Amino acid sequence: MPKPILNRVLIFLMCLVFTDLVNAQTKPRARDLGVPFDGVPGPLNAITDVKGVEVGHTTLISGDAPAPAVRTGVTAVLPRGKDSNDSVFAGWFTENGNGEMTGTTWVEDSGFLEGPVMITNTHSVGVVRDAVIAWRLKHHGVDQEGYAWSLPVVAETWDGYLNDVNGFHVKPEDAFHALDTAHGGPVEEGNVGGGTGMICNEFKGGIGTASRRLDAKYGGYTVGVLVQCNYGQRNQLRIAGVPVGSEISGPKVWDDDVGSIIVVVATDAPLIPTQLKRVARRVTLGLGRNGSYSGDGSGDIFIAFSTANPGASSSAGVRTLAMLPNDDINPVFLATVQATEEAVVNALVAAETMTGMNGHTVIALPHDQLREALKKYNRLAH
């Protein structure tokens, strides 16, 4: 590519990232609307409060009815950032398996997450998986043992109500962009990345994030959560204990609990894979606070990783590890539940009304009515 054109492309990409960052900092979040939550968040109240974690998005929006409507994308979560090839301890759990998260067989057996966690739509898992292999080879070459192979972790939720999911609009370059533009700092939420065309409790859903900072007496560790939420019925939605779904009416989208939710949990607490699997299980309790019962048609799949113990995957002799005693893990469990609950609500608050395939429209959760419902039940924080 000629240098002047390349420079224009780079400037364009930088402008997109800057715009997304500005939006991430200025859009109201659940706490801004007076939703009360338990626990103390980190400075950003995002998964990137865990040092080293980076998040990137590619958002694809084009076309209107009757033409195919593209409402989809890719989200990338990099545990140690895009410049690192150091694996992290990880564990995963599926509450209901009507969905996909590739690479988890090796996560289960090895205890390591090697590379990023990618999230996209159901029918784009393959192209994103292959793109991650190509990206990792380009940026990091062979692994520490000299092998040029990879088993990427790529998860999905179905966006076919709003998106032309069978048009296969996600391309390798979209995965590359999400990875190359991944960053720390504020995380874009709502109709972005893999969450672009998603629906949550029959309101517009998408990407949400939150974090919790443990008290110093519990180690001062951070737990961060990122969700791609595309599940649930309106009449089941509860926010801060309030039956918001019953209080706020809207057009019917589903007749059952269908969809999916993917949840990524990050922490700097020194946990080993068996402990991280236990952490991943606690995600279900956070979703339960918001009314989920994990229906048969939902793919509810979660992965948790720890950025502690750098170099643990090295083959250079015996490794010395740090591990939080099981008796001290309860604060991490609680932080996971709390951050999961808030991340979903943040996704609902950030999402905007969208019209997509076949003229389908999904409304955003109305902020004013949310506040009215919280006030009615004496749950409005301010």
CA angle 192, 196, 199 (to 5 degrees): 125
Compute the average pLDDT of residues 54-63.
98
Closest CA to 368 of 351, 349, 352: 349
Give the pLDDT band of residue 68 (cuts 50, 70, 90). Answer: very high
pLDDT the model gives residue 58:
98
Per-residue model confidence as pLDDT tens digits over 336-350: 999 999 999 999 999
Q: Which one from 260, 292, 294, 306 is the annotated catalytic residue?
A: 260
pLDDT given at position 182? 98
Whether 64 is catalytic: no
Res 52: pLDDT: 98
Which candidate in 124, 159, 300, 313 is catalytic?
300
Percent of the chain with pLDDT over 70: 92
Q: What is the pLDDT of residue 257?
A: 84
Residue 14: predicted pLDDT = 52
Count of C-beta atoms within a 10 Å radius of residue 29: 19
- Over residues 3-18, the pLDDT tens digits come to 554 454 454 445 555 5
Neighbours of 40 (CB within 10 A): 13
pLDDT of residue 92: 98
Alpha-carbon distance of 124 to 170, in angstroms, equals 6
Question: Hey, what CATH class is 28-312+322-376 in?
Answer: alpha beta
pLDDT of residue 12: 47
pLDDT tens for each residue of 120-144? 999 999 999 999 999 999 998 876 6
Say what the pLDDT of residue 316 is. 79
Check pLDDT > 90 for residue 201.
yes
Taking each helix axis from N to C terminus, what angle separates 125-140 and 172-180, rounded to the nearest 10 degrees? 50
Catalytic residue status for 211: no
Report pTM. Answer: 0.93
pLDDT in tens, 80-124: 999 999 999 999 999 999 999 999 999 999 999 999 999 999 999
Catalytic residue among 87, 298, 306, 313: 298
pLDDT tier for residue 146 given thresholds of 50, 70 and 90 = low
Size of the chain, expressed as the number of residues it contains? 382
- Res 65 pLDDT > 80: no
State the pLDDT at residue 1.
Answer: 53
pLDDT tens, 30-51? Answer: 999 999 999 999 999 999 999 9
Do residues 175 and 127 lie in contact, with contact meaning Cβ atoms separated by under 8 Å? yes
Q: Is the pLDDT of residue 75 over 60?
A: yes
Q: Tell me the pLDDT tens digit for each residue of 155-199.
A: 999 999 999 999 999 999 999 999 999 999 999 999 999 999 999
**Averaged pLDDT score across all residues of the chain:** 93
To the query of whether residue 314 is one of the catalytic residues in this protein, the response is no
pLDDT at 2: 57
pLDDT digits (tens, 9 = 90+) for 309-333: 999 998 778 999 999 999 999 999 9
pLDDT digits (tens, 9 = 90+) for 221-255: 999 999 999 999 999 999 999 999 999 998 899 88
**Paired sense of beta strands 199-200 and 203-204, if any:** antiparallel
User: What's the average model confidence in pLDDT over 201-214?
Assistant: 98
**Token pair in block for residue 12:** 């364009």
> Rounded to an integer, what distance in angstroms lies between the CA atom of residue 285 and that of residue 290?
9
